[in-house]
């Protein structure tokens, strides 16, 4: 079993390389082993492109003249159940059967209804030995965004904010007050590159005029989501610069202006977080990082709609102002990020 776990961990390491590039698909890694030696490996690199199993098999067929015999004597490890349906690519289960790979080790089942056990059943029906559940929790955690979208019909929600040492979010007048240092800001930009969308409320846009993009890290900028009930924000603000798709939730109009898309909610007095998340789900947005302000963060907390909270605490003191949000959940650890402390909380398990 120890060898199984070693090879599955390699699958997870490979899969993680697809972060920020494969949504709304899951991150998947695959490793092909022959006589205790890895002869091929791959991962899902980009949405709509070849899956992990395809890339791993291609390494073998490109590298070895005797690939036919090698694959017939190998084991393929996959962090997520091989797909069994035609989507943007052919079924990976069919590829494994075609090459007569006799053993498949799967990290966890795929919850997507068109797969969910069907890939495993197809392999077993072809006489292939399938082992399921190696590093299962780790495999599920890696794809927690995908699992949440499929099982809960909403994006995975990450709350992020910074607070002073005495627990304040901002000065009482809502003006900008930097709490975090450069190290924390770089980390936040890396987080942005890993998620599909970033959400803020009107007051945050007014106070900070943020760009909400990725400047201090590598990767693509997420879609921007702004809550502006009465459409009071000036069109010259950075969030409307047409650099990335921006969704503006409001109570007035549904319209498209280039990359700025206005979405009217029928009821802005009740269930606003729920309505917004359902709209994002319909647009294949798999994860959202919510960066403020305090009212917006609290509306999602009060609705119980969050999965992770990433909270920076800085050394400064305000003595008065807007109180920082408070979450329950499980504290998974505290880390030093420059002069700041970072605590990460998780809500109920997937």
3-state secondary structure of 333: strand
| Pairing assessment for the beta strands 340-346 and 330-337 based on DSSP bridges | antiparallel
Q: Are 261 and 246 in contact (CB under 8 A)?
A: yes
What are the tokens at 246?
Answer: 């921006």
Q: Are 174 and 203 in contact (CB under 8 A)?
A: yes
Rounded Cα–Cα distance for residues 115 and 119 (Å): 6
Question: DSSP readout, 122-171?
Answer: HHHHTT-EEEE-TTHHHHHHHTHHHHHHHHHSS-EEEEEEEE-TTSEEE-
183 counts as catalytic: no
Rounded Cα–Cα distance for residues 178 and 75 (Å): 53
Rounded Cα–Cα distance for residues 229 and 201 (Å): 9
- Which of 41, 53, 81, 195 is an active site residue? 53
Rounded Cα–Cα distance for residues 72 and 210 (Å): 55
The contacts of residue 66 (CB under 8 Å, 6+ apart) are none
Q: Which residues of 249-288 are buried (b: 16+ CB within 10 A; e: fewer)?
A: bbeeeeeeeeebbbbebeebeeebbebbbeebbebebbbb
What are the tokens at 80?
Answer: 């997520």
- Supply the residues annotated as catalytic: 53
């Amino acid at each position: 079993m120890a060898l199984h776990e070693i090879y599955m961990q390699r699958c997870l390491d490979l899969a993680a390389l697809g972060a920020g590039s494969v949504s709304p698909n899951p991150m998947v890694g695959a490793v092909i082993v022959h006589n205790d030696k890895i002869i091929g490996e791959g991962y899902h690199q980009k949405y709509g492109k070849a899956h992990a199993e395809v890339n791993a098999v291609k390494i073998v067929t490109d590298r070895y003249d005797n690939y036919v015999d090698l694959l017939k004597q190998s084991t393929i490890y996959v962090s997520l159940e091989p797909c069994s349906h035609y989507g943007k690519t052919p079924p990976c289960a069919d590829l494994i059967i075609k090459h007569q790979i006799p053993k498949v080790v799967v990290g966890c089942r795929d919850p997507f209804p068109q797969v969910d056990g069907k890939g495993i059943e197809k392999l077993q029906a072809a006489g292939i030995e399938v082992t399921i559940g190696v590093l299962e929790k780790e495999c599920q955690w890696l794809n927690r965004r995908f699992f949440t979208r499929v099982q809960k019909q909403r994006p995975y929600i990450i709350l992020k904010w910074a607070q002073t040492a005495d627990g304040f979010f901002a000065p009482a007048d809502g003006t900008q007050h930097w709490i975090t240092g450069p190290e924390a800001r770089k980390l936040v930009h890396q987080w942005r590159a890993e998620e599909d969308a970033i959400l803020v409320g009107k007051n945050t846009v007014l106070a900070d005029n943020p760009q909400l993009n990725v400047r201090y890290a590598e990767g693509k900028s997420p879609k921007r989501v702004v809550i502006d009930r009465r459409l009071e924000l000036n069109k010259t603000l950075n969030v409307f610069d047409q650099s990335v798709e921006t969704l503006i939730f409001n109570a007035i109009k549904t319209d498209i202006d280039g990359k700025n898309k206005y979405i009217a909610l029928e009821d802005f007095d009740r269930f606003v977080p729920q309505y917004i998340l359902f709209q994002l789900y319909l647009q294949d947005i798999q994860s959202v990082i919510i960066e403020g302000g305090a009212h917006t963060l609290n509306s999602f907390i009060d609705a119980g709609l969050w999965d992770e909270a990433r909270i920076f605490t800085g050394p400064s003191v305000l003595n008065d102002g807007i109180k920082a949000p408070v979450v329950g959940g499980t504290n998974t650890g505290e880390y030093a990020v420059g002069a700041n402390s970072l605590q990460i909380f998780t809500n109920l398990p997937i």
